[in-house]
Amino acid sequence: MLDTLRDMCIKQTAEHIVTGKLKTAHQKLDVQTSNLVFEELLNHSEHPNFSENCQNVKNLLTVTKIELTSQIQSVDDNFCEMIFEQQNITELGLYGLFYWEMFHLKPENTDEEDQGKLLVDIPAVLEKMLNPESFQNLKKLEITGCNLEFVPGWVEKLAPLLPSLETLSLVCSEMEEDVVHSIYENFPNLTELEISKSRVSNLNGISQLSNLKSLNVSEIEFEKKEDLDELFELKNLKVLVIEGDMQLSSGGQKSKSLAHYLESGKCLPQLEHLECSFCDITEEMLQKLLDTHPNLKTIDLMGTPLENHPQITGRGLKLLTMGTFADCLYTIDIFQQRDVLTDYTEPILEKLCEILDDGKEKISRKQLSGCLELMCEIIRRYWDLRGKAAEVLERLCRNARAKFFTFAERQRLIFSIIDVFEQENDNFYIHNYFIDNDSVWNVLSDKVVLTTSPRNIDAVCEYAAIAFCRLENERFHPFQPAMAILSENLDNMSTDRGRALARNSTILNAVLNKFNLFAFYQTGTHEHIGYLTDIIRKLYKIRDDRSEEWAEIDEKCVEAFHKAIRNYRNDLETQSVVLRTLGEIIGCMNKNAKRNLMGDRKWFRYFINTINFNHSPFQKATVIFTYSMFSLVNVRKLELPNDASTQKILLKDVRCALEGYIKNKKDGVFAGVECILKKAQSNITKEMCNWILRNFAEGQTRSKRTLIDNADGVMRRIVF
């Protein structure tokens, strides 16, 4: 779906707050809207006035939910005072404690295994963030403990401060067994608990949490069935996450925790959702689960030997697997709803690519639409999965599949991609840039997608230019899709935005640099040179500016084409393209560039010989270019027309004059021109040949030659 009006209002409100345009209102926003606005506000934390304008949050929002990630660097005393002091927080997520120096303490020990860890006092952290009301009402606390060590006794200190706490999630905290037991004892009212990666060997004591409905003990390896005895006393448990270690699993070492669970001969009768990714499980074990747990609704089998298991019909159960296209979509959708898309989602995206490439599985129109929607959501929300999701999108648009999507779906696709480009542009901390991804540009270069609406072309061309500039010095990375988009669509942009793009010297410079690289190393194909010359030609036509401001870059362009003509002297097809383009753009250049083009007479000999290839495309390019130059410097003197009909007549005259001509080895470079001069019927043809011989032919007896320069509308005689 496209952004709703509400979504757009939320984004605009957040932007107005962070820029200082919105400072107060007659009434604060409601809780739900406030939380969404604040979430969006944090996406602008790199704005230079972010901290200053956060003081206005207290006048505008009623925030109850705050999630702070490592990307938000502005967490300091001032931020805490402005945000937390005036708000009644009931849900708090801290995912960046490692990066926020204001919360760090000096470690008391220097054990080798604790090197690189930072000491954090959780109660002290919360005292800096929460006001007394928030302490009383906080229901959910999530903390990422990676590379952190918590001060001893923190649980006992924290418990009295948070009497309403129901959810405690300590992700990758690696807590010692005594700390975990302290949690059991001091937070008896918990309904959700995550202690993944904790250093415990059993669940002794967990029966004290009689209200527990959800438990996450991922990456804890239990060695025997007795280690899980007290787990079965949790009669209200509906969600159990007992996943193994992904890295160990990839090395063939699957977790045995699920096996011990089943060996006990006991069950959790109310269990509805079991997540056992990266565990060892067989067909028999799965059947035992089904027989003993009648209320199961989902079982996560990703990363297990049964991850391609077919669905089980007739009992209202869904397996999270990737056996079919539909299974892949369902599994990703569930992960997304839980906001737990992780690294092991990549195999599912790879499987989608495999199925789409294979073409054997029958995929419905509805499934294609569902896949498109999921991939659009992934690229907008999960930066680390964008590359793989883009590969899926690329395949969704192959083989004319794009035409099966509705107008709204294609617009959603383009808007989602552009939205990610904008996110990256605003976010310094994203390193795997989506804009550099070939698959993205293959999607955007699909004609059905790109031409969904004319308004798309402006934005896509602008970002294609940015992408091109980022890779201008990569001689082995032609970045063909972005080049193709610019080559084919620059002249389809709206007048104002097209001219603004063409008058951005950075873009023309980047294209010329790439053109120089390809010509020097000859790494680009004929198609690549065609794209580049098309882009250059269109940029000059759209630019429509011959002022002194462009003198330097126009001279650079002339020099680039000089070199390319010499470098491609053994590739007549490519040389012809270069010649034709130079002839088309020289009239759009600054007068100095035009004079410089004529200043180096030696380069002319690298291509004039192709005029002898009668009736060839090379000959045509040479004749048209040469006449363009001839008419440019003699237009007022001779009143020369330079249109398509004149070029056609000229070409016909040249070809008639060369009928039967065979060049002798002793003939000079300009022998063909001399032949044309003798046999030509048109005065224009004769004038052009005289001009060539007078100004460029070898063996001139005069030490000085003259050239009429009328490029800037003033008659001059240049002496060489």
Q: Give tens-digit pLDDT for 640-653.
A: 776 788 889 999 99
Q: Give tens-digit pLDDT for 142-159.
A: 998 777 888 999 999 999
Higher-pLDDT residue of 100 and 715 is 100
Least confident of 191-200, 249-258, 585-594: 249-258
Q: CB of 507 within 8 A of CB of 469? A: yes
Quick one: pLDDT band at residue 713, thresholds 50, 70, 90?
Answer: very low
**pLDDT of res. 92:** 94
User: Nearest CA to 310 among 260, 253, 361?
Assistant: 361
Phi and psi (nearest 5°) for 331? -65, -45
Q: Give tens-digit pLDDT for 387-443.
A: 999 999 999 999 889 999 999 999 999 999 998 998 887 654 455 588 888 899 999
Q: Give tens-digit pLDDT for 244-273.
A: 887 776 667 788 999 999 999 999 989 999
Q: CB of 176 within 8 A of CB of 155? A: no
Q: What is the Cα–Cα distance from 689 to 685, expressed in whole angstroms?
A: 6
The structure tokens listed for 399 are 């083989």
SS3 call for 91: strand
Alpha carbon 61 to chain centroid, angstroms:
32
Phi and psi (nearest 5°) for 148? -120, 150
Q: Is pLDDT above 50 for 719?
A: no
Higher-pLDDT residue of 149 and 205 is 205
**pLDDT of res. 116:** 65
**pLDDT of res. 370:** 96
Phi and psi (nearest 5°) for 94? -120, 105
Percent of the chain exceeding pLDDT 70 equals 89
Q: Provide the residue ranges of all domains of the chain, joining segments of one domain with +.
A: 180-321
Q: What is the Cα–Cα distance from 634 to 376, expressed in whole angstroms?
A: 57
Quick one: pLDDT band at residue 638, thresholds 50, 70, 90?
Answer: low
Query: CB atoms < 10 A from the CB of 628, how many?
Result: 19
Residue that the structure tokens 């929607």 belong to: 373
User: What is the mean predicted confidence (pLDDT) over 692-706?
Assistant: 59
Q: What is the mean pLDDT of the chain?
A: 86
Q: Give tens-digit pLDDT for 456-504.
A: 899 999 999 998 888 765 655 556 788 899 999 999 999 999 999 999 9
Alpha carbon 276 to chain centroid, angstroms:
32
Q: What is the Cα–Cα distance from 59 to 65, expressed in whole angstroms?
A: 17
Q: What is the Cα–Cα distance from 182 to 153, expressed in whole angstroms?
A: 9
**pLDDT of res. 109:** 54
Strand segments (E) across 72-217: 91-95, 104-105, 118-120, 140-144, 148-150, 167-171, 192-194, 214-216
Which H or E run contains 214? strand 214-216
Quick one: pLDDT band at residue 342, thresholds 50, 70, 90?
Answer: low
Higher-pLDDT residue of 449 and 75 is 449
Q: How far is CA 231 from CA 220, 228, 238, 245, 262, in A?
A: 14, 5, 12, 20, 12
**pLDDT of res. 521:** 83
Q: State the alpha helices, DSSP H only, in 400-444.
A: 407-426, 438-444
**pLDDT of res. 399:** 85
User: Nearest CA to 557 among 514, 527, 593?
Assistant: 593
Higher-pLDDT residue of 685 and 174 is 685
**pLDDT of res. 711:** 38
Quick one: pLDDT band at residue 117, thresholds 50, 70, 90?
Answer: confident
Quick one: pLDDT band at residue 110, thresholds 50, 70, 90?
Answer: low
User: What is the mean predicted confidence (pLDDT) over 365-371?
Assistant: 96
Strand segments (E) across 304-361: 318-320
Q: Give tens-digit pLDDT for 591-618.
A: 888 777 776 677 778 788 888 889 988 8
Query: Tell me: domain 180-321, CATH 3.80.10.10, correct?
Result: yes
